[in-house]
Amino acid sequence: MLKIHNTLTGRKELFEPLVSGTVRMYVCGVTVYDECHIGHARSAFVFDVVRRYLEHSGFSVTFVKNFTDVDDKIIKRANELGKPWQEITATYIDAYYRDMGRLGIKPATVEPKATEHMAEIIGLVQVLLTKGAAYQVNGDVYFQVERYGSYGRLSKRKLDDMQAGARVEVDERKRHPMDFALWKGAKSGEPAWPSPWGPGRPGWHIECSAMSMKHLGETFDIHGGGADLIFPHHENEIAQSCAATGKEFARYWLHNGFVQINQEKMSKSLGNFFTIREIFEKWRGHWSGESFQNDLLTAEVLRYFLLATHYRSPLDFSDIGLEEARNTLNGFYGLFQRLEESAGKEEQGDVRIQPLLERFGDVFGQAMDDDFNTPVAIAEFQRLRSEVNKLLGIGLSRSARVDALGAFRRFGEVLGLFQLKKWQFNVCLKPVPMTGEAHLRAEAVIVRGSQALTDEEIERQLADRLEARKRKDFAKADAIREALEERGIIIEDRPDGTSRWKR
RNA sequence: GGCGCCGUACCCAAGUGGCUAAGGGAGCAGUCUGCAAAACUGCGAUGCGGCGGUUCGAACCCGCCCGGCGCCUCCA
């Protein structure tokens, strides 16, 4: 039984979708005026896992994630760069797909754009005007918050309380300071669409109401986004949607916590944010081998790191945190490699593998059912890793090993983890510094990695080393091992005298 | 001024009224090994920011205090 923490009630609630067996969810995507940062990555990972787990649990999920592609910030950026605003949005939509692809985020079922829903948006504004929930001032249309009795329900604030500390210059034309724009009349040179109120563009909040209703219906199951969207964005969405339809809007509201840097919110004004692209560049030097693989490794480390903290908690982003995630993953992939080896016919551990895997399936489900508790789910993976390692020490047959590996792959897929074919051992112990001598050293490792040895060459070296060890020429054996290590190849000797290697 | 969050071992991080406070990383010691590496075993919070209170019983509930943060304005 899945329980979800609902921001609307502040409690964990049993999740029961409107239509049994199906889930309709909407997540606020990005405003495409700049590159995505780690905060976007966290949100993307969180709702990716929510979606994956719902599907794993047997629900048919319709997942809508929008692009805000018309907005004041986009106009501002376009003016700064002297480019058409469409060029800005196109650029950053491309960047978004590039980043999300690298991160391994499954695309949403529908990815609507505000600019492609003008008819729906205008229609919704008209309904609100007709119902007296909105009013027109020159070319603008505002939503009248005092006409919606439950305003503040989501963010748990009262209109009166907010006025007290408001630091905004009050627009004289508004009837209430918290009234917000549904439609903004265009000044010259601004993007504009024709409307009954003159040329203009939608306000920020109305697009999400219009698009979610179009693609999911007037009432749907889950609405999500970052915690910073609770107010005013989601509060306003609820107000205008409920005012328009008279029905319940989204039933469960999920919000992920912030990513912080050194205990502070990551923000552009503090200058302490990292883009997703920067993370990939910085971590390239952790890996050797083919560069296309490096992105997969970095994405897995990042995903593991972010999912190791509960989605509602604040999370401090740090290189050390990523390194710990890397170290742990290294242990998992070491086990996977051993499970795949063909050697070993013993099977004393076999009788214990099925109960172990069954128990794992249960506790994994319990953890995820408890408001998507990925840290506990991951802890159970770690426990399983340890248990399987022990059984491997006792002896597992081929089929038992296949079963064990299958469990890691199958349940790992729900979190988006453990899907790599090959893990590449790190050759750098620190992230690549952006400057200085250490940077050059790290670059040298990358170059060595790019001139990676072929499997055949490595196998030949291993044969030489095996020969040397048989002759008890350990100096030579160690020299071969060190030479390979220089090039990012790690050797592990097995008890029977043969060796396994990994990059 | 209003609303809210966080503080668990060297680090990360679950747990939110009741068995010995999960799990991982790092460290140390040991087993194995020609040596390594990996794996395994052992060690590691008499205590969960502090002080009171409620309770048979609290890291978990209540109060106060200390420290840190967020929202109320664009923000994942």
pLDDT of residue A290: 59
pLDDT of residue A269: 67
Q: Which residue is nearest to nucleotide B23 (CA to C1')?
A: A379
What's the CA A158/C1' B54 distance, rounded, in angstroms? 32
For chain A residues 239-258, those near strand B by a CB cutoff of 7 A are 256-258
Residue A339 CB lies within 7 Å of the nucleic strand B? no
Give, as ranges, the nucleotides of chain B with any atom within 7 Å of a protein CB: 1-6, 11-15, 22-26, 32-41, 68-76
Q: What are phi and psi of A445, to 5 degrees?
A: -65, -40
pLDDT of residue A168: 54
Q: How far apart are CA A457 and CA A476, in angstroms?
A: 17
Q: How far apart are CA A193 and CA A391, in angstroms?
A: 66
pTM for the model: 0.93
| Pairing status of strand A499-502 against strand A250-256 | unpaired
Spatial contact of A424 and A297, defined as CB atoms under 8 Å apart:
yes
pLDDT of residue A486: 78
Which residues make beta-bridge pairs with A30? A67
Residue A31 CB lies within 7 Å of the nucleic strand B? yes
User: What is the interface pTM, i.e. ipTM, of the complex?
Assistant: 0.95
Eight-class DSSP state of A116: G
Using 50 as the pLDDT threshold, list the residues of chain A that sit under it. Answer: 426-443, 446, 450
Alpha carbon A471 to chain centroid, angstroms: 53
Residue A375 CB lies within 7 Å of the nucleic strand B? yes
- What stretches of A389-495 adopt beta strand conformation (E)? 490-493
What's the CA A472/C1' B31 distance, rounded, in angstroms? 24
Q: How far apart are CA A193 and CA A171, in angstroms?
A: 24
Spatial contact of A124 and A133, defined as CB atoms under 8 Å apart:
no
pLDDT of residue A210: 96
pLDDT of residue A273: 82
User: A252-287: buried (b, 16+ CB within 10 Å) or exposed (e) per residue?
Assistant: bbbbbbbbbbeeeebeeeeeebbbbeebbebbbbbb
Q: Could you report the per-residue pLDDT of A419-477, keeping only the tens digit for each?
A: 988 766 544 333 444 343 444 444 455 455 545 678 888 899 999 999 999 999 999 99
**What torsion do the CA atoms of A424, A429, A432, A436 make, to the nearest 10 degrees?**
-140
